[in-house]
Amino acid sequence: MKRVETVFLAGPDPWFPDAAAHQDRRAELVRSAGLTPVLPRVGAGLGAEARSEVAARHLYADMISDLRGADAVIANLSPWRGTSCDPATAFQCGFAAALGKPVFAYMNLLDEEDADPRGRVEALFGAMPDAEGRWRDAEGCEIEDFDLPETLLLWGEARRLFLIVTPDPWTDLTGLEMCLDRLGLYAE
């Protein structure tokens, strides 16, 4: 097993309010664990004049390079703008998994009941069981329901997925700390 020295921090965190200070706190936790943080460059905070297809292609290439260069990924899979994690984070986890890199994850929630994705769909869009007992959303689409906090592919790839019930899901870094602890055990 390759020694883990660099950790890519995936998640919607670069888009949070006060993102720079939050990212600094995340990076400092990684450094205090004796590792080098790799923060995604996603274009958050760029002015409209700097946003273009060319800029997006450069940011994508940089992120892919950063993912290839990192030894592991820690992902914030907290629900983001809907019922599931940030789609870019899901992509980053899948890409890292395809490269054979270990992925550790956490999910911040306001309430323990929020750990049920079917409940999150029901709360946002409406859902009910069909005649066979399969849950379907208001459009009639079946809801993936394996009693897991996230899709089975993200859950299954994570070496660990910690659920953190917190009054402050935006800035609570308990899950990151727990992932760093597990990463340390993994690397030994």
Query: Residue 20's domain spans which residues?
Result: 6-111+149-187
Domain count, the chain: 1
Question: What is the domain-level CATH number for residue 20?
Answer: 3.40.50.450
Residue 32 pLDDT greater than 80, yes or no: yes
pLDDT single digits (tens) 148-178: 999 999 999 999 999 999 999 999 999 999 9
Question: Does the pLDDT of residue 49 top 80, yes or no?
Answer: no
Q: What is the pLDDT of residue 1?
A: 63
Is residue 17 situated within a structural domain?
A: yes
Could you tell me if residue 166 is inside a domain? yes
**Contact by Cβ (8 Å): 165, 109:** yes
- In the chain, what percentage of residues exceed pLDDT 90? 81
- Copy the structure tokens of residue 134: 């399969």
> According to the model, what pLDDT value does residue 50 have?
77
167: in domain: yes
Report pLDDT digits (tens) over 65-91: 999 999 999 999 999 999 999 999 999
Q: Which residue has the higher pLDDT, 51 or 138?
A: 138
Residue 141 placed within a domain: no
Query: Is position 139 within any domain?
Result: no
pLDDT in tens, 16-27: 989 999 999 999
Provide the pLDDT confidence category of residue 146 given band limits of 50, 70 and 90.
Answer: very high
Pair type for strands 103-109 and 158-165: parallel
